[in-house]
Amino acid sequence: MPKTQITMLGTGTPNGVPERVSSGVAVAVGEQPYLIDCGHGIVQRVVQAHAEEKISWDTTALNRLFVTHLHADHIVGLPDLMFTPWIHGREDVIHAVGPAELQKTVDHLYIAFEENIREHTHAHPSTPNGYKVDVSPITDALCYADDNVKVHALRANHGDLTAYSYKFVTDDKTIVVSGDTKPVPQFAEWAYGCDILIHEVYSSEMFKARPADWQAYHSRVHTSTDELAALANQIQPDVLVLYHQLFWGYTPEQLVAEITATYTGTVVSANDLDQF
Residue ranges per domain, the chain? 4-269
SS3 60: helix
Long-range contact set of residues 174-177: C-beta below 8 Å, sequence gap at least 24: 175/4, 175/6, 175/27, 176/235, 176/237, 177/25, 177/27, 177/36, 177/68
Query: Given phi > 0 = left and psi -120 to 50 = alpha, else beta, which region is 206?
Result: alpha
H or E element at residue 145: strand 142-145
Cα–Cα distances (Å) from 271 to 17, 243, 275, in that order, read 12, 8, 9
Residue 120 and residue 126 in contact, taking contact as beta carbons nearer than 8 Å: yes
Distance CA 52, CA 55 (A): 8
Among the residues of 95-183, which ranges form H helices?
A: 102-112, 114-122
Per-residue pLDDT of the chain (276 residues; tens, 9 = 90+): 799 999 999 999 999 899 999 999 999 999 999 999 999 999 999 999 999 999 999 999 999 999 999 999 999 999 999 999 999 999 999 999 999 999 999 999 999 999 999 988 876 667 889 999 999 999 999 999 999 999 999 999 999 999 999 999 999 999 999 999 999 999 999 999 999 999 999 999 998 999 999 989 998 999 999 999 999 999 999 999 999 999 999 999 999 999 999 999 999 999 999 999
Distance CA 138, CA 4 (A): 24
SS3 93: coil
pLDDT attached to residue 3? 96
pLDDT attached to residue 200? 98
pLDDT attached to residue 120? 86
Superfamily for domain range 4-269: Ribonuclease Z/Hydroxyacylglutathione hydrolase-like (3.60.15.10)
